[in-house]
Amino acid sequence: MKKAADVIIIGGGINGCAAAYYLAKRGVKDVIVLEAAKSIGHGGSSRNGGGVRQSGRDPRELPYAMYAVKHMWPTLSEELGVDVEYCQAGNLRLGKTEAHLEKLNRLAQNARNAGVDVRMIDAKEVKEINPYLSDEIIGASWCPTDGHANPMLTTLAYYKRAVELGVSFVKDAPVKAIQKVKGKARKVITADGTVFEGETMILAAGYESREIARTVGIDIPMTRYFEEALVTEMQPPMFDQMLGTADADFYGHQAKHGSFVFGSECGLEEAADMPLTDTRTSSLTMSAGCRAIMGYIPALKDAKIVRSWGGWLDMCIDEVPVISPVEEVPGLILACAFTGHGFGTAPSVGLMLSQMVVGEETVVDISALRYNRFKADR
C-alpha cells in the first residue's frame, strides 16, 4: 500500500473525491485519499436531498455555486462517464400565508441583488408550472436555473474516475491527527497508527474535520445537526422541479427512477446527541414529514414510503463553509463546515481545491470563506 504522495486528501466524500479527480485531470496523480468508513461517500455525500441550488444561498457562496451551475453541472455526466441525473428544471419555494410570501419575497430580493434570477409568482403560475400542488398555495418564489442531481451517483462517479486516472484510495482509514515536520503539515496518522506522508493535505472530513484540525492548533467553530429523509416507491413521472417551502417543513424532488426523495424534520433535531456513527432515524420524523408533504402535494397521499435515512450535517457558526489554505500550518488546506448545502457546489469546490494545491488563483474569489474569519463578538 502506497503511504507517501504529493497530496493526501482526508475524507472520501464528494468534495474529497472531486478534488482528487480535478487534481488527476490536470496531471497531479500522486494523490492518496483516506476515507474513515468502509464505503466512499458514507457521510453527508450520500445523505442529502440532491439540491443543485443557487437561490437561498449566502452571497459569499453564490459566485462558486453559480460557476458550478453555469460551467460544470451541464457537462458533468459526459465528463465523468456516469449519468449523475442532473436536471435543471427550477426551484419552487412555496407559501400558503401572507407571512410566507413576505419571507419568500425578502429571500428573492436578496438573490436578485446577488445576481440570481429569482422572482415571485402567483398561485395561477405555480399551478401552470406544477399542476399537482395544493390549492392552499397562494404563491411561490421561482428560480428557473436551479435543479437537482443524484448525490450518491455523483460522489461515486468522481471516485470511479479518480481511480481510473491513478489516484490511490484507502477506505476504513479514520484519521486521528496531522503532524507538522519543520513547521509544515507533513504526516497524517490513522487510528491504527499508520503514518501517511504528503507535501500538501486537504482536510475534507465533514464534522470530524474539527477534531483533526485541532491536532495542529486550528479550531473551526461548527456544530453537528441530524437531518432525515424519506423515499417513496417509484411513481409515474410527475414533475421535475425541486420543491421547498417558506416554512422549511420539507423539501424534495422526484428522482430519475421515479421515487420521490424528501427531506423532513420533526422539530426536535437541535437536541439530537447520538454518537456520529448512529444514523438511525427517529420514530417521529417520518410521520411529521408525511403530513407536511401531503399538505403541499396531496396527489402523493397514496404513495408508499419504502425507506428513510438520516445523516449528520457539519454546521458552521456563520452558516457558510471554510475553504482555504491555513497560514499557520503551511501545506494544509481546509474544506469543511458545509452546513448542509455542500452537494450542489462540490464540482466548483473540488476544482478550486485542486487549484489551491498547485498554487493557482481560484476560478472565483472565495477569500470570504477563510478559516480565520471568526472573531469574538463580545
Q: Give the end-to-end CA distance of the chain in Å, rounded to a whole number.
A: 50
DSSP-derived secondary structure for 119-143:
EEEEHHHHHHH-TTS-TT--EEEEE
Q: Closest separation between CB of residue 51 and another protein, Å?
A: 18
Give me the residue label for grid cell 490536470: 26
Q: Does 373 bind another protein (CB under 8 A)?
A: no
- Which residues ranging from 284 to 323 are in contact with another protein (CB under 8 A)? 284, 286-288, 290-291, 293-294, 300-309
* Sign of torsion over alpha carbons 49, 55, 60, 63: positive
Among 153, 185, 335, 357, binds another protein (CB under 8 A): 153
- Closest among 286, 280, 234 to 264, alpha carbons compared: 286
Give me the residue label for grid cell 450520500: 46
Q: Closest separation between CB of residue 153 and another protein, Å?
A: 7
81 exposed, middle or buried (CB, 10 Å; 0-12, 13-18, 19+)? exposed
- Which residues ranging from 187 to 206 are in contact with another protein (CB under 8 A)? 190, 192, 194
Q: Closest separation between CB of residue 121 and another protein, Å?
A: 26
Task: Name the residue nearer to another protein (CB basis): 141 or 190.
Answer: 190
- Which residues ranging from 224 to 283 are in contact with another protein (CB under 8 A)? 232-234, 257, 266, 281
Encoded amino acid at 45, one letter: S
Task: Name the residue nearer to another protein (CB basis): 1 or 376.
Answer: 1
- Closest among 41, 60, 65, 43 to 314, alpha carbons compared: 43
Task: Name the residue nearer to another protein (CB basis): 207 or 296.
Answer: 296
Task: Name the residue nearer to another protein (CB basis): 274 or 284.
Answer: 284
SS (H, E, C) 232-283: ECCCCCCCCCEEEECCCCEEEEECCCCCEEEEECCCCHHHCCCCCCCCCCCC
Separation between Cα atoms, residue 288 and residue 306, nearest integer Å: 16
Task: Name the residue nearer to another protein (CB basis): 222 or 288.
Answer: 288
Among 20, 76, 149, 173, binds another protein (CB under 8 A): 173
Among 163, 165, 276, 315, binds another protein (CB under 8 A): 163
Give the other-Cβ count within 10 Å of 119's Cβ.
Answer: 14
Cell of 55: 437561490
Q: Closest separation between CB of residue 325 and another protein, Å?
A: 27
Task: Give ∠ CA 295-146-336 in degrees, rounded to 5.
Answer: 100
Task: Name the residue nearer to another protein (CB basis): 181 or 306.
Answer: 306
Task: Name the residue nearer to another protein (CB basis): 113 or 283.
Answer: 283
Among 159, 251, 312, 338, binds another protein (CB under 8 A): 159
> Where does this chain bind another protein (CB under 8 A)?
1-2, 38-42, 46, 152-153, 155-156, 159-160, 163-164, 168-173, 190, 192, 194, 232-234, 257, 266, 281, 284, 286-288, 290-291, 293-294, 300-309
